[in-house]
Amino acid sequence: MTTVRTRIAPSPTGDPHVGTAYIALFNLCFARQHGGQFILRIEDTDQLRSTRESEQQIFDALRWLGIEWDEGPDVGGPHGPYRQSERGEIYKKYAGELVAKGHAFPCFCSAERLDQLRAEQTANKETPRYDGHCIHIPPAEAQQRIAAGEAHVVRMKVPSEGVCVVPDMLRGDVEIPWDRMDMQVLMKTDGLPTYFLANVVDDHLMDITHVLRGEEWLPSAPKLIKLYEYFGWEQPKLCYMPLLRNPDKSKLSKRKNPTSITFYERMGFLPQAMLNYLGRMGWSMPDEREKFTLAEMIENFDVQRVSLGGPIFDLEKLSWLNGQWLRELSVETFAAEVQKWALNPEYLLKIAPHVQGRVETLSQIAPLAGFFFSGALELDAKLFEHKKLAAEQVRQVMQLILWRLEALRQWEKDKITACIQAVVEHLELKLRDAMPLMFAAITGQASSVSVLDAMEILGPDLTRFRLRQAIELLGGVSKKETKEWEKLYAAIP
């Protein structure tokens, strides 16, 4: 019997997302339940957006939760390398094979031609799709043009009619018409593969037997299935997991819910509780009990118990469950958890230089710097009344800074300052116009330690969360404002 092998294949392009942990958890449980292996592969073919910092954050966040993998970039294994950026030659070889077999073709169309095509199709209310312009170029001619250095991509051929049957472990056979599929680019002009090619090649070469992935990938499943067929490979069993949702049923998004795992760590959730809650997303124990450990989940796991109604990721429910976990700890363990969370030497050492010169007794530390040990703050709207700026401008400046900080990858004081600087300059304001607002949002006080230092120490998750909280307190941002301000934001150099 073949060994069950599952994997998680995150792209390291941002904060470690709770959705990644959710999918990882189910893949882990499935593999363990069958005595199989669970692999971590990094899909970093998007060179512009992928970073090593983000990759490291994914490793750390999953480990914090208690999710361990048997093979991966950091632990090695017999199917490496486990980073797609290190597998370039492999994809080239397989793309070449598809072209040679006539299942794929080089395409020389310029970006302008494709833009124009898309514009025409959209105007005619057609689904934008590649029109097959380069499909009939004789192979010898194509080879010559490539040899002469002409820029090109490789596209796969797809049937133009009929339906593709996607066998989903949860939904049964799902039929998707072929005319919805584009002639997908498999290799980009830079010689790197797209998700589709790299994903299929790697799942095959890494002997993956079952793929549990998010349901957002279901519409593109036919292209993967076709690729398996073209290569003559057996396709893994497919399972499209329901998407996590905000309480209003929309897809979980950071605008409505913090989505970074590190946020939950900073807020003082227990990793066991977090994992337990993710296990409750669309799944339940046979006896419906709410609180269970990873080991219990593995022991009782049955993927068929996943229900398709979109599971709601609700902060209140998670907090309730976390409370259950906290209350059941022994007092000693509880105290140890508090220490580990924020009363640890490492964290205190970061704060100490900023408070030492401002207190006469140690007991003044809590009133001065209590916000370092809080999550959400009780904010006072009065602190946001501004001498110079109207209420709308106050929200605007804060929102633009928030967006800028959301995109900031290296969380350091001077980089944070540069974000704020860029926004205020663009709005023709001064740093001192924006700083009191930052101060109020981040510390919740009228005076305390330097807010830029505080932001660096608090970290990106809590800083962004508090800014969001403050903007909400002041009335939030309307849809119309979002549109206008996004334009303004895009123009900031």
Q: Is 29 annotated as a binding residue?
A: no
- In 3D, which of 54, 49, 55 has the Cα closest to residue 83? 55
Find the shortest distance in angstroms from Cβ 40 to ligand GLU: 11
Measured from the CB of residue 16, what is the shortest distance to ligand GLU in angstroms? 12
Residue placing its CB nearer to ligand GLU in the complex, 51 or 469? 51
User: In whole angstroms, what separates CA 451 from the centre of its chain?
Assistant: 28
Among 22, 30, 43, 404, binds ligand GLU (CB under 6 A): 43
Q: Give CA–CA dist 163/159, Å, rounded.
A: 9
Helix pair angle (479-490, 391-407), 10° resolution: 60
Q: Clarify whether 317 is annotated catalytic.
A: no
**Is 254 a known ligand-binding residue?**
yes
> Of 92, 157, 237, 254, which one is the catalytic site residue?
254
Restricting to residues 106-135, name those near ligand GLU by CB under 6 A: none
Residues sharing a CB contact under 8 Å with residue 107, sequence separation 6 or more, in sequence order: 130, 133, 134, 152, 153, 154, 155, 183, 185
**Cβ 213 to ligand GLU, closest distance in Å?**
4
Pairwise CA distance, residues 251 & 244, whole Å: 6
Q: What's the token pair of residue 342?
A: 């924020």
Confirm whether residue 239 is marked as ligand binding.
no
Which stretch of DSSP H or E encloses residue 40? strand 37-40
Peptide bond into 73 cis (omega under 30): no
Span near ligand GLU by CB under 6 A; candidates 5-13, 91-99, 329-337, 360-368? 5-13
Q: Is 5 in the site for ligand GLU (CB under 6 A)?
A: no
- Spatial distance between the Cα atoms of 136 and 288, rounded to a whole number of angstroms: 58
Which window, 9-17, 255-263, 272-280, 446-454, contacts ligand GLU (CB under 6 A)?
A: 9-17
Contact between 9 and ligand GLU by CB under 6 A: the answer reads yes
From the list 7-15, 173-181, 272-280, 421-429, the region that binds ligand GLU by CB under 6 A is 7-15
Residue 199 vs 276, nearer CB to ligand GLU: 199
Q: If binding means CB under 6 A, how many residues of this protein chain bind ligand GLU?
A: 8
Q: Residue 461, interface with ligand GLU (CB under 6 A)?
A: no
Residue 23 CB, shortest distance to ligand GLU, in Å, is 7
Burial group, residue 373, by CB count within 10 angstroms (0-12, 13-18, 19+): middle
Give the bridge partners for 120, in sequence order.
none
Secondary structure in 3-state letters for 288-349: CCCCCCHHHHHHCCCHHHCCCCCCECCHHHHHHHHHHHHHHCCHHHHHHHHHHHCCCHHHHH
Judged by CB under 6 A, the chain residues 10 through 29 that form the site for ligand GLU are 10-11
Place of tokens 């093979």: 71
The contact mask relative to ligand GLU for 196-215 (x = CB under 6 A, - = no) is: ---x-------------x--
Instruction: Report, as residue numbers or ranges, the catalytic residues.
Output: 254
Annotated binding-site members for Zn(2+): 107, 109, 134, 136
Annotated binding-site members: 107, 109, 134, 136, 254
| Residues of this chain that bind ligand GLU (CB under 6 A) | 9-11, 43, 195, 199, 213, 217
